A and B are shown apart, each in its own frame.
Chain A
Amino acid sequence: MNFLAPNFLYLLPLISLPLILHFLFRFRLKRVDFSSLFFLADLKKERFHFYRLREILLLLLRTLLIAFLILSLSRPYFTKKRSPILKILPQKSKSVVIILDDSYSMGYENNFEKGKEILKEIVRNLNKNSRVTILLTSKKKIVENERSINVSDTLIKNLKISYDISYAQKILEELKNFEGEVYLITDLQEYSYSFLKDFQNKFLLKIIDLGKENFENCGIIDLRFLPAREEKINLQIKLINYSQKELEIPITFHGDDFNFKNLLNLPPGIKEFNLEIPKKSEKDIVTGKIEIEEENLKGDNTYYFIYEKEKNFPILVIYENEEDIIYFRKLFSIAEDYQINYLPLKEIKRISFSSYSLLFLVNPTKIDQFLKWQLSDYLKKEGKVILILGKTLKENKFGEIFETLETWEGEGFLTIDKWEENHFIFQDFKEKIIKEPKFYRVVNLKAKNLKILVSFNNKFPFLLEDTLNNLLIFTSNFSDNFTDLPTKILFLPLILKTVEYYGIKKKNNFFIGETIVLNFDLPQIKIITPFGKFLKETSLEKGTRVIRFSETKEPGIYQLENKKIAVNTKKEEGNLKKLDLKEKNNLKIIKGEIKLEYELTYFFLFFAFSVFLTEIILLFI
Chain B
Amino acid sequence: MKYLLPEIIHKIKRLDLKAKLVVEGFLSGLHKSPYKGQAIEFADYRPYLPGDEIKKIDWKIFAKTDRFWVREYEEETNLRAYLLLDNSCSMAYKSKEISKFEYASFLAACFAYLLFKQHDSVGIAIFNKKDCQYLPPQFSKFHLSRILETIEKIKPEGETDILKSLTEIGKKIKKRGLIIIFSDLFDNKDNVLKALKILRHKKNEVLVFHILDPNELNLNYNEPIIFKDLETKKEITLDPRGIKKEYQENLRNLFFYYKRECIAHYIDYNLIFTDMPFDYAFFNYLEKRSRIK
* Complex: A40 Cα to B243 Cα, angstroms: 8
Q: A35 touching B90 by the CB < 8 A rule? A: yes
Q: Is A260 part of the contact surface with B, judged by Cβ < 8 Å?
A: no
* Complex: A466 Cα to B223 Cα, angstroms: 79
Q: A39-B251, A41-B236, A44-B238 are in contact. Are A34 and B230 (CB under 8 A)?
A: yes
* Complex: A46 Cα to B228 Cα, angstroms: 19
A368 to chain B, nearest CB (A): 96
* Cβ–Cβ < 8 Å partners of B246 in chain A: 43, 46-47
* Cβ–Cβ < 8 Å partners of B234 in chain A: 37
Give which listed residue, A25, A37, A55, contacts B229 with CB less than 8 A: A37
Q: A37 touching B242 by the CB < 8 A rule? A: no
* Cβ–Cβ < 8 Å partners of A47 in chain B: 238, 242-243, 246
B224 to chain A, nearest CB (A): 6
B209 to chain A, nearest CB (A): 16
Which of the four size classes fits the interface of chain B? Answer: 35 or more
Q: B224 touching A29 by the CB < 8 A rule? A: yes
Instruction: Give residues of chain A (7-27) contacting chain B, Cβ–Cβ below 8 Å.
Output: 25-26
Instruction: Give residues of chain A (168-182) contacting chain B, Cβ–Cβ below 8 Å.
Output: none
Give which listed residue, B225, B241, B251, B254, contacts A29 with CB less than 8 A: B225
B94 to chain A, nearest CB (A): 9
With a 10 A CB-CB cut-off, give which of B221, B229, B231 has the most chain A CB atoms. Answer: B229
* Cβ–Cβ < 8 Å partners of B224 in chain A: 25-26, 29, 55
Chain A binding surface SS class: helix
Q: A29 touching B239 by the CB < 8 A rule? A: no
A546 to chain B, nearest CB (A): 72
Q: Is B256 part of the contact surface with A, judged by Cβ < 8 Å?
A: no
* Cβ–Cβ < 8 Å partners of B221 in chain A: 30, 32
Q: Is A50 part of the contact surface with B, judged by Cβ < 8 Å?
A: yes
Instruction: Give residues of chain B (25-81) contacting chain A, Cβ–Cβ below 8 Å.
Output: none
A77 to chain B, nearest CB (A): 41
A254 to chain B, nearest CB (A): 48
A443 to chain B, nearest CB (A): 94
Q: Is A422 part of the contact surface with B, judged by Cβ < 8 Å?
A: no
One digit per residue, 1 when the CB lies within 8 angstroms of any chain A CB and 0 when it does not, for chain B 213-245 equals 100100001011111111110111111011100
Instruction: Give residues of chain B (247-273) contacting chain A, Cβ–Cβ below 8 Å.
Output: 247, 250-251, 254
* Cβ–Cβ < 8 Å partners of B210 in chain A: none
**A contact residues vs B (CB 8 Å cutoff):** 25-26, 29-41, 43-44, 46-48, 50-51, 54-55
29 residue pairs from A and B, CB less than 8 Å apart? A25-B223, A29-B225, A29-B237, A30-B226, A31-B225, A32-B226, A33-B93, A34-B230, A35-B93, A35-B184, A35-B186, A35-B231, A36-B184, A36-B230, A37-B232, A37-B234, A39-B247, A39-B251, A41-B236, A43-B247, A44-B236, A44-B238, A44-B243, A48-B238, A48-B242, A48-B243, A50-B242, A51-B241, A55-B239
Assuming A30-B221, A36-B231, A39-B247, what are 20 further A-B pairs, CB within 8 angstroms?
Answer: A26-B224, A29-B223, A29-B237, A31-B225, A32-B226, A32-B227, A32-B228, A35-B91, A35-B93, A35-B184, A36-B229, A37-B229, A37-B232, A37-B236, A43-B243, A44-B238, A44-B243, A47-B238, A48-B238, A51-B239
